[in-house]
Structure 1
Amino acid sequence: MGYRVVDTDAVEPAPDRPCEQRALSEAAGLTQMAVNRFVAEPGEQIPLAYHYHDEQEEVFYVLSGTLHVETPEETYTVEADQLFAVEPGSPQRAFNPEEAEEPVAVVAVGAPPAADDAHAYDPDA
């Protein structure tokens, strides 16, 4: 059996991200899913780009603040204690709008973990 408690504040933020991202999977010893904690200040986005995944399912659970998720059809507003789910092949861009009054804190889970599964999406193409 294997169990771990991870102090998420002890995990160093990833460099060169548009917001604070703490990659928690490795610290937790996880191999079947990717788990990240994000804190996005007003005007910051969570992913590096508007994107989609071929295989990976993603969920964003909002801990505090309000997350906005742009899709080709609409922009969703996700409040604290709500979960936003994304199926493979569905483009999205999660962000905290410039006019927001507070940061948004989110736990994101993707499965299966797929480093080479993300593809940029151009909404104007």
Structure 2
Amino acid sequence: MGYQVLDPEAIDPTPDRPCVHRAVGDAAGLSELAINVYEADPGEQLPLAYHYHDEQEEAFYVLEGELAVETPEREYSVDAGELFVADPESPHRAHNPDDAAAAVRVLAIGAPPVEDDAHPYEPER
């Protein structure tokens, strides 16, 4: 058996990201689940790009603020205490809009954590 208690704030942010990203699952040594904490100021996006996954299910639980999630069909507004879920092969871009009043803090969970599973998505304009 094994147990851990981690403080996400004690995990160094991942360099070269569009916002503050802490890889909590990596720090915990998880192999079956990806867990990340994001903190995005107004105008910042969470993932590196508008994207979709082949196999991974992805969920964003908003801890603080309001998250905007762009999809090909519409843009969702996700308030603190709400959960946004993206099924595999469902393009999405999570971000904090330029005109947001405050930063957003999000717990992102994905499973399975498949390597090379994220693909850029170019929306038709």
Length-normalised TM-score, structure 2: 0.97
Q: How does 1:1-125 map to 2 (within 5 A)?
A: 1-124=1-124
Shift, 1:115, TM fit: 2.6
TM-superposition CA deviations, 1:8-36 (whole Å, max 9, x none)? 11100000000000001122221101000
| Segments ≥4 residues shifted beyond 4 Å | none
Please, which runs of 5 or more residues in structure 1 have no aligned partner?
none
Shift, 1:114, TM fit: 1.8
Please, which runs of 5 or more residues in structure 2 have no aligned partner?
none
Counterpart CA distance in 2 for 1:123 and 1:114 is 24
Counterpart CA distance in 2 for 1:59 and 1:37 is 12
Question: What is the identity, as a one-letter code, of the residue corresponding to 1:66?
Answer: E
Counterpart CA distance in 2 for 1:15 and 1:3 is 28
The CA RMSD measured in Å over matched residues stands at: 0.9
Counterpart CA distance in 2 for 1:74 and 1:117 is 23
Question: What is the identity, as a one-letter code, of the residue corresponding to 1:123?
Answer: P
Aligned length: 125
Counterpart CA distance in 2 for 1:63 and 1:93 is 18
Length-normalised TM-score, structure 1: 0.97
Counterpart CA distance in 1 for 2:55 and 2:36 is 18
Counterpart CA distance in 2 for 1:24 and 1:17 is 15
Counterpart CA distance in 1 for 2:49 and 2:118 is 9
Question: What is the identity, as a one-letter code, of the residue corresponding to 2:95?
Answer: F
TM-superposition CA deviations, 1:38-81 (whole Å, max 9, x none)? 00000000011000000000000000000000000000000000
